[in-house]
Structure 1
Amino acid sequence: MTMNSISRSQLYVLDQDEALDFYVGKLGLELSTDQDLGFMRWLTVNVPGDREHEILLEKPGPPALDPATAEQVRELLTKGAMGGSLFFTTDDAHKTYEDLVAKGVDITDEPTDRPYGIDFGIRDPFGNRIRIGQMHPQA
């Protein structure tokens, strides 16, 4: 058996409407799915034009977590101790950085030239870490 693609990643968020505003309104991702399943809201976003790879923005709770565990996850997330990570690429790290600063995004570090490219860090409203990089061409 061989894996051939990652179709979905998951991040915990405390408020799905706020997450949607951040990921779509500030980062420029697209809403992929927003469906009430009864037992949970299935909310996914994707990079524009890439419907093959979605990010599930999930509130801690059923069906994945029992109430006590969900409360622990919410507490850790609020403290910034349990955030997930995402890595995006961009054609122009400095321009993307300036755009996000203008939108009031929480910047954790400024664009820095590294051996693999130029990258910088941001954080979503829930403590999840995000790296955005402009990669150097592969040799």
Structure 2
Amino acid sequence: MDITISSSFLPADDPEASLAFYRDVLGFEVRGDVGQGTMRWITVGPPNQPQTSIVLHPPAVDPGISEEERAVIAEMMAKGTYAGINLASTDLDALFEKVQASGADIMQEPMDQDWGARDFAVRDPAGNSIRIQQA
């Protein structure tokens, strides 16, 4: 049996800001953009991995979510504790310079971790935690 990751979902409360971050800063290509306004689902991914995507979606739009749950999701997004993803780059330092120059919210500059990885952490425009390690 061969299983691969096809897509991952991250909430995005400002589609234009999220699109600019993932496309213009991280260099992902846009694979889909459906809906309008704040009700947009934007699919992005690395150009050299067409089989792997991230879907940037409106948070808490499921009709089964209560108002109380929506408030919790909004609170967690504001803290940056609701969602995250780990990425890798072949040139961590160059990517960090580009991300930092974009004005993104840097959580941790590049450093060697105890577990062996060298990485940095940033929050995307929705507050999602993005850790990027040296590939």
TM-score range, shorter chain: 0.7 to 0.9
Shift of 1:49: 2.5
State the partner residue of 2:50. 51
State the partner residue of 2:84. 85
SS of residue in 2 equivalent to 1:100: helix
State the partner residue of 1:7. 6
Task: Judge conservation of contact 1:14–1:74 (CA < 8 Å) in 2.
Answer: no
Cα distance change, pair 30–65 in 1 and its aligned pair in 2 (3 A) = farther
Shift of 1:46: 0.4
Unaligned runs of 5+ in 2: none
Larger radius of gyration: 1
The whole-number CA distance in structure 2 between the counterparts of 1:64 and 1:52 is 29
Q: Which amino acid is the alignment partner of residue 29 of structure 1?
A: F
The whole-number CA distance in structure 1 between the counterparts of 2:13 and 2:41 is 14
Task: Judge conservation of contact 1:88–1:133 (CA < 8 Å) in 2.
Answer: yes
SS of residue in 1 equivalent to 2:33: strand
Task: Judge conservation of contact 1:13–1:59 (CA < 8 Å) in 2.
Answer: yes
Q: Which amino acid is the alignment partner of residue 133 of structure 1?
A: Q
Cα distance change, pair 93–16 in 1 and its aligned pair in 2 (3 A) = same
State the partner residue of 1:74. 74
Task: Judge conservation of contact 1:26–1:100 (CA < 8 Å) in 2.
Answer: yes
Task: Judge conservation of contact 1:26–1:105 (CA < 8 Å) in 2.
Answer: no
SS of residue in 1 equivalent to 2:76: helix
Task: Judge conservation of contact 2:88–2:134 (CA < 8 Å) in 1.
Answer: yes
Q: Which amino acid is the alignment partner of residue 25 of structure 2?
A: K
Unaligned runs of 5+ in 1: none
Q: TM-score under structure 2 normalisation?
A: 0.83
The whole-number CA distance in structure 2 between the counterparts of 1:13 and 1:24 is 14
Q: Which amino acid is the alignment partner of residue 102 of structure 1?
A: A
State the partner residue of 1:29. 28
Number of residue-to-residue matches in the alignment: 131
Higher relative contact order (CA 8 A, sep 6+): 2
Range with greater deviation from structure 2 (63-72 or 40-49): 63-72
Q: Which amino acid is the alignment partner of residue 79 of structure 1?
A: K
Shift of 1:131: 0.9
